[in-house]
A and B are shown apart, each in its own frame.
Chain A
C-alpha cells in the first residue's frame, strides 16, 4: 500500500531511500572502514586486558610453588599470619624437579611361597 492510499489516522511509512551507484560505493567503503575500526578497538581492548591479566596478582596465586622452580635470589615474602613454612610448601604429590623414568623405584613383588 502506498502512502497515497492512507486512511485518516493511519501511520505514514517513510519512503525508502534511492541511492545512486556512487552513493552506494561510498556507503560500502565507509562501512568497511567502520567495521575495521570496530575490530581494531575490540582487538586493543582484548590486548590490554590480556596484558593486564598476565601481570596481575591473581595469576601469581601459586607463587609459593613457583618460587622454588625459578631458583631466583628473591626472598620469600612474609607468610600470612598463622601459616607455617610447612603449610606453604608444595604438596607432596607435586614435584619441583621433573621425575625421570629411571628414578622410579618399582618394588619387586615377593615370590609366592
Chain B
C-alpha cells in the first residue's frame, strides 16, 4: 500500500460543488465583518449609502471572497488531495475540473471588483482587488508553502473586509477602520493554529510548513497565548477611539476573558503533542470553535450599537 492518492473518480459537478468551491463558511464570516465595517462607518461618520448600493457592495465582497476561495482551491488541489480533511473538496473529488475553478475565480474576481466600483467608489474596489490578490497569490501561492508564519501574514487577507465596508461608505480608511482590521488580523493565528494543532500530521504529510510542523506543538501553544493577549488588548482599543461603546466594551471584555482562559488552558495542555490525551485535543477543538463565536460576537456588538442607536461611547479621540 502506498501513500499516493487514488485518482478521483470522474463525476459531474452539482451546483453544491460549485458553491463549495467558493468556501461558503469563510464567505459568511467575511460578509459579516464587511457589514459590520459598513454599519460602523455609518454610525461613526454619519455618512450614508443608498441601501441598494450597500447591498450590492456587500454582494461584491461575497463574490470577491468566493473568487479568492476558488483560486485557492485551484492552486492547492494537489495538497488538498493528500489531506483527509480536504480530500472531499470539489477538485480532488473530481467534481470540478481545475481549469473551471481558476476560470470561475478569475471571472468572479473581475465581476466583484467592477460591482464594488459601480456601487461605491474606487478605493473600496481597489481594496477588494488587493485582498483577492493577497489571499490568492501572496498567501496561497507564496506564503503557505514557504514559511511557518504563513497564516500570520496571510491573515491580512481575511482582515480587509471591514476596511472595505468602511471605505465603501466613506471613501476613506481612518484609524477606526484599521482597528477592525487589526482585530481580525490578531484573531487569525490563535484561531487557525488551534485547528492545525489537531491536523498537524496532515499538514506534515502534505508538506505544508505550519507552525506545529516546523516548531512543534509546544511552541505553537505559546504563540497562540501571545497572540490572544495581543488580541485582547487590540480589541479594547475601539473604546479609546469611541468606535465602541458600553455594549461593545462589556461584550468584548467578557469574550476576551473567556478567550484568554482557553488560550491559557491550551498552553498548559499537551494538545498537538504525539499521544496527547483526548481531553487536550478536545480542548484545542473547543478553542477553535470558540474563536469563531468570538469574532462573530465582537462584530455583532458593533453592529447592534451603531445600527440600533445603542452607541454610548466610553471615550473618544
Q: A residues within 8 Å of B by Cβ?
A: 22-23, 26, 29, 33, 41, 44-45, 47-49, 51-52, 55
Contacts and interface: CB of A to CB of B under 8 A. Distances in A.
B12 A41 contact: no
Nearest to B59: A44
Contacts, number: 29
Contacts of A23: 12
A105 B182 CA distance: 74
B293 interface: no
Contacts of A29: 15
A35 to B, nearest CB: 14
**Chain B contact residues, majority secondary structure:** helix
B115 interface: yes
Given A41-B111, A44-B115, 17 more contacts: A22-B12, A23-B12, A26-B12, A26-B13, A29-B15, A33-B15, A44-B118, A45-B114, A45-B115, A45-B118, A47-B52, A48-B53, A48-B56, A48-B118, A51-B52, A52-B118, A55-B50
Give chain B's interface residue range (CB within 8 Å of chain A): 10 to 19
A55 B49 CA distance: 12
B140 to A, nearest CB: 24
B119 interface: yes
Interface in B252-300: none
A51 B59 contact: no
A51 B53 contact: yes
A79 to B, nearest CB: 29
Contacts of A52: 118
